[in-house]
Amino acid sequence: MFMFRNCAVLLVIGSICCFIYGLFRLHVEVEPNACRMTYMFGEPMFAKLGVRDGDQYPNYALYYYYEGLRQPLDPQKRRMTGAPVIFVPGNAGSYKQVRSLASVALRKAMSNDAGIHLDYYTIDYDEELSALYGGYLPRQQSYLKLCIRTILSIYEGRTEQPSIVLIGHSMGGKLAQSVLVDPAIGQHINTIISISTPLDQPVLNLDTQLEEFYDQTDAVLRKLRTATVPTMTTNVCDSLHQRPPSVQRMASQDSSARLDNVLLISTGGGNRDLLVRPGLTSSRFNDLHAMTSAIPKVSLSCDHLSAVWCLQFMQAINRFLFSVAYVREDRSSIAFGTNKQRNLQSALSTFVKPRRRQQNTVRFGAAGNWHEEQRLVINKYFTNGLKGTFFDLIGLQRQERYRKAAIEALNVDEEDWLFGCSAEDHNKTGQLYCEKATSLMHLVQWLPNEDRDPRSIALLDLHNLRKTYVHWTHLLIRLPPSAKRIGYNLDIYDPKERVTDIKMPRWYTMAKLPLINETLQGTLHHRLRISEMVDPYQSIRVIVEPLQCINPEYRVTARICVPWAAGFERFQTLNYEYSYSSALSRLVLEFYGWSPAHLVCVLLID
């Protein structure tokens, strides 16, 4: 009996230790904060506005943000010419959290040649704990409606009906979404951007009032807005770039609901946000969802508070707002465009993949370093840079099984470097060259590479290229002059040979299983499909062990994609040995209860 009791005590202690270790791995061992601080170049100022019927909410207030002016500014007594934006703080949030967003907008307006500028307003909810007590939410919602009406009155009298953008952080994003249930308010809302917001269900359901608020909002939105719900056949991992549910039409519902004209964008902070897990930040009613770790020019994880001051993220949000704003015909004021499809394309360009200009034709001369390559695998680098432009022609005529090509460029900044063309021999020199070529930069994705050299990659289907452009004979890679190390990698392969299927192990499985014994030197792209992710405790470790490297400072970038959840892809740079255990178990935890599917991990090896 004594021995049994000791064993039971040891078992309990061991279980507690394992539990604490698991929490430590999931919530403490996260990536460092790579956000840059946002600074104000003038003294932050807040002008309080009078809200009609606001006397019944004495603890709340509405402010207009401006900087550096010595004289007080009253938006209700002067003509406001910017496009209106309202910041809605969340649980225990301060109205002063608007400073980073608004300050970046002020700096951006100074350098905008078109004269576009934004008017930022912010709401003071007295830092109420709205995530812990649902009784605050109806009052905050009512006050938000009053604020919207007040701001609309400031901009009334314009030739066009004014529209407002709402930006909500944490529970503020849910409040912004909830005002759509009032059709009189919803018609004036242009776009809603939620930042780290639990949209469809709360983080903690502590009382019936909180549950009722979510249920009532959901019930009305189901009637007034088209929902996009993933199915068992949904797969957003087919291409290098994910498309939002609204573009893929995951649901078969009629898309003519009353509130479908409002653009809803949700964002999540990723691993560093320990308060609102990423799986809660998306909504069935959204048009687009993006994690900060996958947003171009952001590519980092934000914790719950840094999401409202992270400079890279603030710049991305304002970049989108400026792209959808325009100067009215009378040149008297700024407004947000009401064409939702155009605004959605701008959102895709900002939060998913930068929009490239239309495929343009570029002319080249025969002079220069022109070379033709027929090899399947190429690793070509110029350690000391290039004094002149270097051209490589890659033949498109290959054996039937070589369908795919992965091309990576290193240290090629924003210039066009990938083209398709029809090569010909020069009359005088006999050198093979392309007189004109069509840019393929719309197929290129820039990869997060920490603070190292710029890195971009294109995954091409050679069969589709030959069918679409029947006159093309070659791909053209152009490397510009550079004083730094520059080059490219090419990998043409049979896609069947680069896919490995993995079943998530059970809790009792501890043995190592070799997936790929050895890859060909120069291999650039490999896909791991991980299936049977049904339990949140399942984890897997992938060990990448280099046998021989052309470049001693090799890099392996993993793109982790969840097929049924657009916007949740992640990029991770691997070292000599990187454990996926925390990443994969966290992914299962985030989407536990969703439709079971698989996970795709793409290894981009250099």
- Residue 283's closest CA among 340, 222, 237, 370? 222
**Section 97-120 average pLDDT:** 94
**Section 469-493 average pLDDT:** 92
Q: Residue 253 pLDDT > 50, yes or no?
A: no
22 and 53 fall within a common domain: no
Distance between CA atoms of residues 475 and 418, nearest Å: 7
470 and 339 fall within a common domain: no
3-state secondary structure of 193: strand
pLDDT at 28: 61
Domain for residue 425, yes or no?
yes
pLDDT at 365: 82
423 and 456 fall within a common domain: yes
pLDDT at 75: 86
Per the CB < 8 A criterion, the answer to whether 313 and 298 are in contact is yes
404-426 pLDDT, tens digit each: 999 999 888 767 899 999 999 87
Q: 170 catalytic, yes or no?
A: yes
pTM: 0.83
pLDDT at 145: 97
Domain for residue 157, yes or no?
yes
Q: Residue 400 pLDDT > 70, yes or no?
A: yes
With pLDDT > 70 as the criterion, what percentage of the chain qualifies?
83
pLDDT at 560: 80
288-346 pLDDT, tens digit each: 999 998 888 898 889 999 999 999 999 999 999 999 999 988 788 899 999 999 999 99
Q: Residue 109 pLDDT > 90, yes or no?
A: yes
- Among 467-476, 503-512, 588-597, the range with the most confident prediction by mean pLDDT is 467-476
Average pLDDT, the chain: 83
Domain that holds residue 464: 361-496
Q: Which residue has the higher pLDDT, 450 or 128?
A: 128
Provide the number of structural domains found in the chain. Answer: 3
The CATH number of the domain holding residue 96 is 3.40.50.1820
pLDDT at 601: 60
**Residue showing tokens 């920490």:** 450
330 and 395 fall within a common domain: no
Q: Residue 443 pLDDT > 80, yes or no?
A: yes
404 and 284 fall within a common domain: no
Domain for residue 331, yes or no?
yes
Domain for residue 523, yes or no?
no
Exactly one of 170, 282, 323, 333 is catalytic; name it: 170
Confidence of residue 595 (pLDDT cuts 50, 70, 90): very low
Q: Which residue has the higher pLDDT, 407 or 238?
A: 407
Q: Residue 133 pLDDT > 50, yes or no?
A: yes
Per the CB < 8 A criterion, the answer to whether 318 and 351 are in contact is no
- Residue 380's closest CA among 479, 452, 480? 479
Confidence of residue 585 (pLDDT cuts 50, 70, 90): very low
The CATH number of the domain holding residue 365 is 2.60.120
Domain for residue 39, yes or no?
no
Beta bridge partners of 370: 391
User: Hey, what amino acid is at 94?
Assistant: S
Domain for residue 543, yes or no?
no
Confidence of residue 553 (pLDDT cuts 50, 70, 90): low
Give the residue from 478, 496, 514 where a domain finishes: 496
**Section 59-69 average pLDDT:** 92
- Among 67-71, 500-504, 531-535, the range with the most confident prediction by mean pLDDT is 500-504
Q: Which of 343-352, 377-386, 407-416 has the lowest mean pLDDT?
A: 407-416
3-state secondary structure of 70: coil
332 and 403 fall within a common domain: no
Domain for residue 574, yes or no?
no
pLDDT at 254: 45
**Section 561-571 average pLDDT:** 77
What is the distance of C-alpha 339 from the center of its chain?
22
Give the residue from 351, 381, 411 where a domain finishes: 351
376 and 435 fall within a common domain: yes
Q: Residue 573 pLDDT > 90, yes or no?
A: no
Beta strands 455-461 and 325-327 are unpaired
297 and 205 fall within a common domain: yes
pLDDT at 249: 46
345 and 454 fall within a common domain: no
**Section 348-373 average pLDDT:** 80
Distance between CA atoms of residues 240 and 179, nearest Å: 36
- Residue 183's closest CA among 152, 210, 220, 150? 220
392 and 486 fall within a common domain: yes
322 and 440 fall within a common domain: no
Domain for residue 582, yes or no?
no
Q: Residue 577 pLDDT > 60, yes or no?
A: no
Q: Which of 14-18, 26-30, 278-282, 472-476 has the lowest mean pLDDT?
A: 26-30
CA distances from 311 to 118, 321, 337, 458 (A): 18, 15, 25, 28
Give the residue from 496, 523, 557 where a domain finishes: 496
- CA atoms within a 13 Å half-sphere pointing along the CA-CB vector of 435: 4
DSSP collapsed to 3 states, 463-529? HHHHHHCCCCCEEEEEECCECCCEEEEEEEECHHHHEEEEECCCCCCCCCCCCCCCCCCCCCEEEEE
pLDDT at 69: 75
Q: Which of 32-36, 222-226, 513-517 has the lowest mean pLDDT?
A: 513-517
- Residue 576's closest CA among 549, 543, 551? 543
Q: Which residue has the higher pLDDT, 531 or 554?
A: 531
95 and 209 fall within a common domain: yes
